[in-house]
């Protein structure tokens, strides 16, 4: 598979990260902060909107996973 980023919503990303063991730490407005060990990831949860590629790329980098790993978790 290629490393292209999938088109996903914030909720889909949260579910995938929870499968990896991330837990919700706090939420302020539409931004949910998830954590696992020393990693922190902020995911915007704007209803029905797909995440922009740059935002998704930053989330994946902070979570320490690749686009292919995310695709497998969806």
CATH number at 24 reads 3.30.920.30
Which residue segment(s) compose the domain that 36 sits in? 10-73
Q: Cα separations (Å) of 52 from 26, 49, 55, 60, 68?
A: 22, 9, 5, 12, 17
Cα separation of 4 and 31, whole Å?
24
Cross-strand bridge partners of residue 23:
35
User: Is position 28 within any domain?
Assistant: yes
Tens of pLDDT, residue by residue over 21-51, are 999 999 999 999 999 999 999 999 988 789 9
* CA dihedral (63, 65, 69, 70) positive or negative: positive
User: Is position 4 within any domain?
Assistant: no
Domain count, the chain: 1
Residue range 2-15: average pLDDT?
Answer: 88
Q: Is residue 1 scored above 60 in pLDDT? A: no
Predicted confidence at residue 51, as pLDDT, reads 93
User: Is position 17 within any domain?
Assistant: yes
Tens of pLDDT, residue by residue over 47-66, are 878 999 999 999 999 999 99
Q: How confident is the model at residue 2 (pLDDT cuts 50, 70, 90)?
A: low
């Amino acid at each position: 598979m290629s490393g292209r980023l999938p088109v996903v919503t914030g909720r889909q990303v949260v579910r995938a990260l929870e499968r990896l063991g991330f837990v919700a730490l706090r939420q302020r407005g539409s931004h949910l902060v998830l954590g696992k060990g020393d990693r922190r990831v902020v995911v915007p949860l704007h209803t029905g909107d797909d995440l922009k590629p740059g935002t998704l790329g930053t989330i994946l980098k902070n979570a320490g996973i690749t686009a292919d790993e995310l695709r497998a978790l969806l």
